[in-house]
């Protein structure tokens, strides 16, 4: 008769154990980079045009709300 195979017992991971696993894995594996990091940067002139728009509109709005003009 073949001896019955004993079922494996799954070890319950405590929060401390999980933290230890994460620490170990993050130390060993290289840092993941998001796809967005690989997306081409927005052209400088477009970025600055938008930035100027945001700053100008915000300043104009605040001036309107403070009744400066």
Sites of contact with another protein (CB under 8 A) = 10, 12-13, 15, 18, 34-37, 39-42, 44, 46-48, 50-51, 53-55, 57-58, 60-62, 64-65
Residue number with CB closer to another protein (13 or 26): 13
Phi/psi at 7 (5° precision): -65, 145
Residue that the structure tokens 């594996």 belong to:
29
Q: Looking at beta carbons only, is 4 or 15 nearer to another protein? A: 15
25/18 Cα distance (integer angstroms): 11
Is residue 15 within 8 Å of residue 22, measured between CB atoms? Answer: no
When the beta carbons of 27 and 32 are compared against another protein, the nearer one is 32
């Amino acid at each position: 008769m073949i001896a019955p195979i004993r079922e494996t017992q799954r070890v319950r991971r405590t929060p401390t154990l999980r933290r230890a696993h994460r620490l170990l894995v993050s130390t060993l594996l290289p840092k993941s980079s998001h796809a967005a990091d690989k997306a081409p940067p927005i052209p400088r002139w477009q970025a600055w045009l938008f930035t100027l728009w945001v700053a100008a509109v915000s300043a104009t709005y605040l001036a309107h709300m403070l009744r400066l003009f």
